[in-house]
Chains A and B, each alone.
Chain A
């Protein structure tokens, strides 16, 4: 049975989704999303510290997504094929009793799976002080990539969210995998 709009609605209602998007992630889109999220959160009765942290982590998660999707520009990629646009991504922000969840999903090259896995595993193996030290080390020594990302994104997300990064990969075919990142932020 095909998923109806009503099914989708119920699913998003059940998961307490504040905002969800599927499509091409552009700089203009992110500007709009940040603006929408800020005004939405303004009306919620979470503490200013929580709102601030959620916004901070959201910016990092979505810009991370934006920079990585860009990678497909550099190689011979069929943008539209039977399985859809590989530059397209998905993200959602949901608000629960005691925490927020930010989830992003995007296509990546299977060859990049081991590197991302080991990076996340390493970050998740560090305690708070080690994470702070690691951040400082990369900040002080690392070089900026052409797009301005310095490999700090995931470290910053883990550091600010004060939680382990959730993640999974789904192999689509020999050319693509789908990477899901789940970030949980406890309310303060």
Chain B
């Protein structure tokens, strides 16, 4: 299957979903209409789940996201949760002074049945 790439903009994150199981969401996610933006990501995961790689790592490196995106990001996690036959990890990055982003990661960790790794970085 084809990889999914999105360059990122002032309101949307870089997306690199590779069929080798390396998935990246990086930057900021503050579009007014996040459903539209996240739809292709969910669809990609849908096809990926048909023959996933033995390991899948979703690396989330977000600087900002709005509440509209927060539901869509949850949908991405839920979709990932339903992928069987792959060892899945979420790497949740947050900047060292950003307790809101750490909290957001912990919220997802509590809702989603996937292993989360919290990674503190100097700058995203």
Contact = CB atoms under 8 A, between A and B. Distances in A.
B110 A148 contact: no
A63 B32 contact: yes
Interface of B: 10-11, 30, 32-35, 63-64, 66-68, 70-72, 74, 95, 97-98, 100, 103, 107, 110-111
B111 A30 contact: no
Interface in A122-160: 132, 135-136, 139-140, 142, 144, 147-150, 152-153, 155-156, 159-160
19 contacts: A27-B32, A30-B32, A48-B97, A52-B98, A55-B64, A59-B64, A60-B67, A132-B103, A139-B70, A139-B107, A144-B35, A144-B68, A144-B71, A144-B72, A148-B32, A148-B35, A150-B67, A150-B71, A156-B67
Contacts of B110: 136
Contacts of B71: 139, 142, 144, 148, 150, 152
A68 interface: no
Interface in A72-109: none
Contacts of B70: 139, 150, 152, 156
Given A139-B111, A148-B35, A63 B66 contact: yes
B64 A63 contact: no
Contact residues of A: prevailing secondary structure: helix
Interface of A: 27, 30-31, 34-35, 47-49, 52-53, 55-56, 59-60, 63, 66-67, 132, 135-136, 139-140, 142, 144, 147-150, 152-153, 155-156, 159-160
Contacts of B33: 147-148
A126 B80 CA distance: 33
